Amino acid sequence: MSDKAVLTLEGKQYEYDIHTGSEGERCIDITNLRKETGYITMDEGFGNTGSCYSDITFVDGAKGILKYRGYPIEDIAENATFVETAYLILYGELPTADQLRSFSGALKEHAPLHTNLKHHFSGLPSDAPPMAILSAMLNMVSCFHPDILEVHTSGKGFDKSAALLLSKVRTIAAWVFRMAAGKAFNDPNPNLSYCANFLHMMFSDPYQEYIPSPVIEKALNLFLVLHADHEQNCSTSTVRVVGSSRANLFSSVSAGVCALWGPLHGGANTAVIQMLEEIQASGRPVTDYINMAKAKNNTFRLMGFGHRVYKNFDPRSIILKKAVDDVLQELNMQDPLLDIARELEEKTLADSYFKERNLYPNVDFYSGILLRAIGIPLNMYTVMFAIGRMPGWIANWRELHDHKQRISRPRQIFTGSNTRSYIPLEKRT
């Protein structure tokens, strides 16, 4: 097979290298296209554009495969803790017992927030959007650690920045919830695991320490593991774009939080529950909503369905669907929204509109029901996604520096006015 792609333009031929990834995926390297031909490519939304070479996460959307550093998501979800998964994503290998001990120690050490940072919470309205606070606070953390504001991609500087962010995102998230609920902040407890510590900071009260059941702790762990990375999604690409200007890690991930916020990305987990609640409250059949999503003149979409990359089942949604069943059963709970979700899935899988467009449930479809079972309030769902995605953002930020990625700077085709002369104010109509 040829290792060159040949392009014919205005009667002239140009050759471009073909590169093959380790899983056989192929790209045409058009780095010199504009220089050689004067043309650029147009790919709105970057659906066919590779922006980097990466060793971190592999997704095969046609087959529904997801792997972190070569390990299938099913294997990691079954066996690894979130802390082990974060280490794997950051450093490329599963940690040895010593490495895990030292990494967990660093997470414990960096869990407390600086007292002055704590004061910033008190100036915010109690209904401030949690994602706005999270983004701002993550950026602000850097103000208290000027030693790691420079770009560190290896050694102690990187280890500290990574541990600090992974740990502080959890404390900030829990305190955002406490602030909104008008409750006192709980300091982190270094004797607890990553997930138990988060749940303690969220739910312990002065005279009643919250001790999560193993089922709840495991469910939270699974949620975070499944969100840990997903290659060049909107928020991770944002982190890489911001980082490509050589911006520091804190500002890069805080931009990632903002990108995640939108309902087409991480905000979909909140939107799914809102949609299921609306269906429940309306008393209307789910087919009404399916028909609304199909109608050409209606902008309504079934939240939690469809994916830019997966044209088959999202493997995370399969794991989550089973986890939701198991957790509700183990906790002896029932959730009427789960019945609506199951019916929606069943009906869409049999519907030609969804079949023709390969629209399957994505990670956000069942994750909200799991978060409800854990006791997380709705306005915190996307914040939970951000805690989970932190290892992926950090690893991608590091990788772009290690690969010396050029500053991200796409081109455009200009469709505005041609040259015009300034019109003095009195002559404008």
Query: Smallest distance, Å, CB 231 to ligand CMC?
Result: 11
Instruction: Determine which residue in the list 145, 218, 265, 342 makes contact with ligand CMC, applying CB under 6 A.
Output: 265
CA distance 122 to 63: 48
401 part of the active site: no
Q: Which residues pair with 312 in a beta bridge?
A: none
CB atoms within 10 A of CB 283: 6
In the set 110, 152, 230, 307, the catalytic residue is: 307
Give the one residue of 103, 261, 289, 305 binding ligand CMC; rule: CB under 6 A: 305
Phi/psi at 171 (5° precision): -65, -45
Q: Which of 364, 401, 402, 403 is catalytic?
A: 364
Q: Does 302 bind ligand CMC (CB under 6 A)?
A: yes
- Cβ proximity to ligand CMC: between 47 and 182 the closer is 47
Min dist CB 268 to ligand CMC, Å, is: 4
Q: For helices 214-226 and 194-203, what crossing angle results, to 10°?
A: 110
Q: Which stretch binds ligand CMC (CB under 6 A): 3-11, 31-39, 261-269, 334-342?
A: 261-269
Number of CB atoms found within 10 A of residue 265's CB: 17
**295 forms part of the interface with ligand CMC (CB under 6 A):** no
CB-based contacts of 23-26 (< 8 A; 24+ apart in sequence): 23/58, 23/60, 25/60
Mask of contacts with ligand CMC, 362-401, x by CB under 6 A?
Answer: xxx-------------------------------------
Neighbours of 423 (CB within 10 A): 9
CB of 366 to ligand CMC, least distance (A): 12
Question: Which two structure tokens, joined as six digits, stand for 187?
Answer: 């300091």
Q: Which helix (H) or strand (E) holds 160?
A: helix 155-180
Query: Does 359 sit near ligand CMC (CB under 6 A)?
Result: yes
CB-based contact 88:73 (threshold 8 Å): no
- Among 173, 293, 383, 400, indicate the residue that binds ligand CMC (CB under 6 A): 293
CB-facing half-sphere around the CA of 127: CA atoms within 13 A? 0
Give the ranges where 181-296 is alpha helix by DSSP (H).
Answer: 194-203, 214-226, 234-243, 249-261, 268-282, 286-294
Stretch that binds ligand CMC, among 205-213, 326-334, 355-363, 394-402 (CB under 6 A): 355-363
Rg of the chain, C-alpha, whole Å: 23
Tokens 């010199």 locate to: 32
Whether the CA torsion 396, 397, 398, 401 is positive or negative: it is: positive
Which range of residues in 188-196, 241-249, 337-345, 359-367 is near ligand CMC by CB under 6 A?
Answer: 359-367
* Residue among 82 and 360 whose Cβ is closer to ligand CMC: 360
Residues 40-99 that bind ligand CMC (CB under 6 A): 45
Q: Is 331 left (phi over 0), alpha (psi -120 to 50) or beta?
A: alpha
Among 95, 130, 306, 315, binds ligand CMC (CB under 6 A): 306
Rounded to whole angstroms, how far apart are CA atoms 281 and 196? 34
Per-residue string for binding with ligand CMC, 307-326, x by CB under 6 A? xx------------------
Residue list 232-251, contact with ligand CMC (CB under 6 A): 233
* Of 301 and 347, CB closest to ligand CMC: 301
Interface pick for ligand CMC out of 120, 301, 342, 347 (rule CB under 6 A): 301
User: Any catalytic annotation for residue 159?
Assistant: no
Cα-based torsion angle of the residue sequence 49, 54, 58, 61 in order, rounded to the nearest 10 degrees = 0
Judged by CB under 6 A, how many residues of this single chain contact ligand CMC?
20
CB of 357 to ligand CMC, least distance (A): 4
* Residue positions annotated with a catalytic role: 307, 364
- What residues line the site for ligand CMC (CB under 6 A)? 45, 233, 264-266, 268, 293, 301-308, 357, 359, 362-364
